[in-house]
């Protein structure tokens, strides 16, 4: 916005000192357009602020229980994505990835599943390791493995040995 002000002032100065009538009229027309754009930008800025205030008000009225759906486990998941799935620091799409990866075919015990409103992702928490996402952009990365009720107790390390795996 400061650039528009400086450019408008420069053009005004040039228009006032110009002796050429046609060029002067064109410069004045540009100055008028720049001033209109400046006013329009200020109006947009005010509307954005008003909208942000309304959103903040709506968010403050929501119960914290409606922001995330949480299920306690244990849940057994198998990685079905060929490239594997990288653990994350916390359950969010922009969370930093950790160096640890669940490789294709590997099974892990998740102690909770979390669906956060506003994101179309289900996150899986593996105690002591980090967070994984179940699917991303419509592609499934981790698949829930059905476990018979007597075998539901998860091992402490978060890893699983499933029949037929070495």
pLDDT reported for residue 87: 93
pLDDT of residue 31: 84
- pLDDT at residue number 29: 85
Rg (CA), the chain: 29
Residue 66 confidence (pLDDT): 46
pLDDT at 164: 42
pLDDT of residue 85: 92
What is the reported pLDDT for 8?
Answer: 60
Q: Under a CB-based contact definition with an 8 Å cutoff, are residues 151 and 137 in contact? A: no
pLDDT score of 45: 73
How does DSSP assign the chain, residue by residue? -HHHHHHHHHHHHHHHH---HHHHHHHHHHHHHHHHHHHHHHHHHHHHHHHHHHHHHHHHHS-GGGSEEEEEEEEEEEE--TT-EEEESSSSTTSPEEEEEEPTT-EEEEEEEEEETTS--EEEEETTTEEEESEETTEE-EEEPP--GGG-PPPTTSB---TT--
Answer for the pair 31, 15: CB distance below 8 angstroms, yes or no. Answer: yes
Tens digit of each residue's pLDDT, the chain (166 residues): 556 556 566 655 554 554 567 788 888 888 888 888 777 777 777 777 777 777 666 656 555 444 668 888 889 999 999 999 999 988 877 788 888 999 999 999 999 998 877 667 889 999 889 999 898 777 889 999 988 766 555 555 455 544 444 4
Query: 112: buried, middle or exposed (CB in 10 Å: 19+, 13-18, 0-12)?
Result: middle
């Amino acid at each position: 916005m400061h650039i528009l002000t400086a450019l408008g002032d420069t053009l005004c100065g040039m228009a006032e000192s110009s002796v050429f009538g046609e060029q002067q009229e064109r410069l004045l027309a540009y100055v008028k357009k720049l001033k209109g754009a400046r006013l329009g930008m200020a109006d947009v800025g005010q509307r954005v602020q008003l909208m942000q205030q309304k959103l903040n008000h709506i968010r403050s009225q929501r119960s914290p229980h409606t922001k995330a759906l949480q299920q306690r486990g244990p849940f057994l998941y198998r990685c079905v994505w060929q490239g594997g799935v990288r653990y994350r620091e916390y359950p969010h799409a922009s969370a930093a990835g950790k160096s640890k990866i669940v490789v294709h075919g590997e099974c892990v015990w998740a102690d909770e599943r979390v669906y956060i409103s506003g994101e179309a992702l289900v996150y899986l928490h593996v105690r002591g390791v980090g967070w994984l996402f179940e699917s991303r952009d419509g592609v499934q990365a981790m698949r829930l493995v059905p476990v018979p009720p007597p075998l539901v107790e998860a091992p402490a390390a978060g890893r699983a040995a499933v029949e037929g795996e070495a």
